[in-house]
Amino acid sequence: MNVQEALEIVSQTHSGMVRSHNEDSVFYDASCGLVVLADGMGGYNAGEVASGITVSLMSTEIKRRLESVRPEEKDSTSGEDIGVVLLRENVQKANASIFSASQSQPQYAGMGTTVVAGLFYDNRVAVAHVGDSRMYRLRGEAFEAITRDHSLLQEQIDGGMISKEDARSSKNKNLVTRAVGIDAEVAAEVNVYEVQVGDIYLLCSDGLNDMVEDEEIGATLQMLQSNLPLAASQLIELANDNGGRDNVSVILVKVKGEFAVPSGWLAKFMSWFRN
Amino acid sequence: MAAKLILSMDGVVLQEYVLDKERMTIGRKAHNNIVIDNLAVSGEHAAIVTILNDSFLEDLDSTNGVMVNGAAVKKHFLQNNDVVEIGKYKLKYLNEQQGQATAADFEKTMVLRKPVKTQQPNTPQADAPGAGSAAHMQTQVNIPPVSAKHEATTGRFDTAAPQAVAAQPAATLAPAASPAPAPGAQAQSGTAVPTAAVQILSGPNSGKELDLVKNLTTLGKPGVQVAVLTRRPHGYFITHVEGTNRPTVNGKALDEHPHQLNDHDIIELAGIKMEFYFK
């Protein structure tokens, strides 16, 4: 199965119940296994500009590069998957582009965005993120976040200063310690995970997980996994019913089959033949 | 508004302390920020660490211990109106951040970072993520230069060196967004709707009643026919999830959209009839 046949992807975004405009941007393309979600911040429309730059730059650049390179191959200098390098480099490019726009145009000063992106290839997913946009995974009964926020609160949790339960009532939510476009450079955190058939991946902006408890997000995906578009609209509805204080965006990726890259010479030949 | 502690004994207010330092100590000895000169109080009895809008109380291995709202604690995340007891003394914690926050300045994502980087973009990236938690304890707010915008303001928080913090009263932290916790928001939505149930009218489980206590309840057989009942602030809805046949409500098949349920509606799903009603 190629990655396009193996993945079912849906997405929805909503400005929420309070905000007048939507500063989130989303992109997905099953044909190259790429999903990107960004949550912008900044006055006027600067937030939309920052998230929009990130999503369009990452999607066009990575798609273009994938025409000539294979994500599962190893990079000759770093030894990492090319897919990992592509994500990291393009977050950096988006960062440079936003940073220079905000330096040159006063109305964009200080704009930035969080981002979470996934590139699916060879039964794996490379996940890059900056800030507090998240990726979760539902595998069987287990629902968990596979990204860890770059936020003050997460650092407090990691440092043992505050328990996860107490963190829910913290007044220090929404303080991110990393964002795209704020400084001249940014380090995206990139990890690679094995993918199993049946997994559902959720990418979301904090408008979802600030309004809806993880358990409820997980239960919703579990119950509605057979109807992905309904699951996506249900999640948005839950966030809005709970107050919808922020823009809320979700991308859902369901793994319907294996998408391993053929490895033997015969398999390679056959796959070439099929094309 | 920085958080405060009101010191009292036997109902008489003695003193008010603004939690304007990152760490404040309570004890009998004179060097403490909050001095309680009583033999039941240890030299250094307890400390309060404040990070932006959150304060944490810590017992400094005192002889007689610390109580919060009647329970002994070693470490405690202070909430508005908590009463801290040290011996006969009471310290009431007041933090009205949440009440003052308007919906508009709610939930704005802001960036925390070190000022060094703006001034010297060439500095290596060693800072942001993993820097020891001690570094993050000292936090100072710079109101962003361009903040005319109200909707979706981007604040910029610079984690500064400790000395800088000491010089900068924490009161300036107040304008930061102070989001209410999600659980509270959920409680609201949970209580607004009257309880409802479905009772099965046919088939082997006939007579059984199912209370709709969750926001989502699925009905049916996975792989064959499934519908979901959703509880929302303005009522209950049924939506088709999967299966070639669609459930009917009062004999009418559902389309793609959620259908609001009325009292005593009859649902038919996978050959089973059931009745929806409010309790």
User: For tokens 């290596």, what's the residue?
Assistant: B124
Are A200 and A252 spatial neighbours (Cβ–Cβ below 8 Å)? yes
User: Quick check: A269 pLDDT over 50?
Assistant: yes
User: For tokens 């929009």, what's the residue?
Assistant: A52
Are B236 and B193 spatial neighbours (Cβ–Cβ below 8 Å)? yes
CA distance A210 to B254: 32
CA-based nearest residue to A118, from A193, A52, A205, A24: A193
> Which residues on B lie below 8 Å from A155 (Cβ)?
133, 136
Q: Can you give the pLDDT at residue A49? A: 93
Q: Can you give the pLDDT at residue A42? A: 83
Cβ of B54 within 8 Å of Cβ of A211? The answer is no
3-class secondary-structure state, position A246? coil
CA-based nearest residue to B52, from B22, B93, B11, B27: B22
3-class secondary-structure state, position A109? coil
> Which residues on B lie below 8 Å from A172 (Cβ)?
51-54
List pLDDT tens digits, range B93-107: 998 765 434 444 444
- Pick from B100, B107, B157, B218 the residue to mutate for testing the A interface (most A CBs within 10 Å): B107
> Which residues on A lie below 8 Å from B177 (Cβ)?
174
How many CB atoms are located within 10 Å of the residue B169 CB? 13
**Is the ipTM here above 0.90?**
no
What is the residue-averaged pLDDT of chain A? 92
Pull the structure tokens for residue A192: 């690679």
Which CATH code, of 3.40.50.1100, 3.60.40.10, 1.10.3720.10, 3.30.470.20, is assigned to A3-145+176-274?
3.60.40.10
Q: Can you give the pLDDT at residue B144? A: 38
User: Quick check: B40 pLDDT over 50?
Assistant: yes
pLDDT (mean) for B240-263: 92
Q: Can you give the pLDDT at residue A36? A: 98
User: Per mean pLDDT, which of A145-154, B93-102, B159-168 is the most reliable?
Assistant: A145-154
Q: Can you give the pLDDT at residue B90? A: 94
State pTM to two decimals: 0.73
What is the residue-averaged pLDDT of chain B? 74
The region of weakest confidence among A81-95, A182-196, B175-189 is B175-189
Classify residue A263 as left (phi > 0), alpha (psi -120 to 50) or beta: alpha
Boundaries of every domain in chain A: 3-145+176-274
CA-based nearest residue to B53, from A172, A152, A166: A172
The DSSP output letter for A214 is H
> Which residues on B lie below 8 Å from A47 (Cβ)?
152, 154
pLDDT (mean) for A14-33: 93
In angstroms, the separation between the Cα of residue A45 and the nearest Cα of chain B is 9
User: Per mean pLDDT, which of A181-195, B46-60, B174-188 is the most reliable?
Assistant: A181-195
3-class secondary-structure state, position B16? strand
pLDDT (mean) for A26-37: 96
The region of weakest confidence among A43-57, A172-186, B155-169, B190-204 is B155-169
List pLDDT tens digits, range B186-198: 444 445 678 999 9
Question: Which position has the higher pLDDT, A255 or B143?
Answer: A255
CA distance A207 to A40: 12
Q: Can you give the pLDDT at residue A145? A: 96
Partners of A8 in the beta sheet? Answer: A254
User: For tokens 């509880």, what's the residue?
Assistant: B231
Amino acid at B200: I
| Among A166, A207, A216, beta carbon nearest to B77 | A166
User: For tokens 């039941």, what's the residue?
Assistant: B40
